[in-house]
Amino acid sequence: MPKITGSVGNTSMFRTQYNKMVAKGEGLIGTDFKMSIEGYEDVSEILVQAAQLPPMNREMIETYGPLGVRFLQAGNYNNAAEIPITFKEVIKGDVYRMIRDWIVNKRYLKVRLVMTPESLPSGVAPLTFTLHDCWLNLDGVDLSVEDRAAIVKPAGTLMANFIDPEV
């Protein structure tokens, strides 16, 4: 019957990796964020329920050389993004008033996304994004007499035209 030979336990390797990971500090939690929308800070900082850190990328430039050798080159910085966003509505309709004004009046607003971890002395992480000239598309919101415990959560897409990452 064959046996595995040369197998040796090395638990000190796990301890070393654990110590390296812990030395980096506390992990950033996805609930520790604040998004503020220019002119609507009193609504947005409290009632934005979900958002995304904006993507950061460059356009891909594809070239070919002799014998079909392919090379992918980093092109222009992609300064614009589509970011999913979800709000929580309150019975006074604060969110829909903001959204209606934003969309109907075709406003381009500045949006600031800041990570806000409890463990930092100032409560604000160095991870911040300022999104310039943003406009909004809103999806339809489902209402139902059977979902008695569900709140109204308008969702849509935030269109950002320039992203300033402050990392």
CATH of the domain at 83: 2.30.110.20
Average pLDDT over all residues of the chain: 92
**Residues near 6 by beta carbon (within 8 Å), at least 6 away in sequence:** none
Q: Report the percent of the chain where pLDDT is more than 70.
A: 99
Give mean pLDDT, residues 33-62.
Answer: 93
For residue 15, being part of any structural domain is answered with no
In a domain, 17, yes or no: no
In this structure, is residue 151 part of a structural domain? yes
pLDDT band at 1 (very low <50, low <70, confident <90, very high): low
Taking the alpha carbons of 67, 68, 71, 75 in that order, is the dihedral positive or negative? positive
Show the tokens assigned to 18: 């654990």
Cα–Cα distance list, 127 to 17, 33, 57, 117, 130 (Å):
25, 10, 17, 10, 10
The rounded distance, in Å, linking the Cα atoms of 21 and 28 is: 13
Q: Does 13 map to a domain? A: no
How confident is residue 166, by pLDDT bands cut at 50, 70 and 90?
confident
Task: Let me know if residue 23 belongs to a domain.
Answer: no
Structural domain includes residue 16: no
Q: How many domains does the chain have?
A: 1
Looking at residue 44, what is its pLDDT? Answer: 85
Residue 14 resides in a domain: no
- Domain range for 111 is 28-166
Give this prediction's pTM.
0.83
Residue 18 within a domain:
no
pLDDT digits (tens, 9 = 90+) for 102-117: 999 999 999 999 999 9
The answer on pLDDT for 167 being more than 70 is no
